[in-house]
Amino acid sequence: MQIAQLTKAEEQVMQYLWEIEKGFLKDILELFPEPKPHTNTVSTILKVLKEKDFVDYEVRGRQHQYFPLVSKERYSGKSMKSLVKNYFEGSYKNAVSFLVEKNEMSVEDLEMLLNELKK
């Protein structure tokens, strides 16, 4: 199954849903910092995420309890591949070099990562 790209707002809702694993609209809203978005806004985003097959829900009385259908790991992997493809000519080496050059990743971090990969 092909995974769709999410907007920033959709991604934010998914981050909260991944964090709580299952929740009602009010549970997701509580996680937003102030100023919180309007209930209708988050409700619409959840509807779009359902249409994109990212979430589903169980009916609990008169409310929907939402849960993710796509894991954070799966989406992160897809996002990383897309980032590397679109901005670093498909080269993970170029991506890591960029992080080191911009001081987002230290040489020590890189060495630790290489040691972990060797295990």
Per-residue confidence (pLDDT) for residue 78, from 0 to 100: 83
Q: How confident is the model at residue 63 (pLDDT cuts 50, 70, 90)?
A: very high
Dist CA 93 CA 45 (whole Å): 35
Q: Evaluate whether 50 touches 69 at the Cβ level (below 8 Å).
A: no
Dist CA 43 CA 52 (whole Å): 14
86-111: pLDDT as tens digits: 888 888 888 888 888 887 778 788 78
Tell whether the model's pLDDT for residue 60 goes beyond 60: yes
7-28: pLDDT as tens digits: 999 999 999 999 999 999 999 9
Distances (CA, A) of 38 to 17, 18, 93, 105: 17, 21, 42, 37
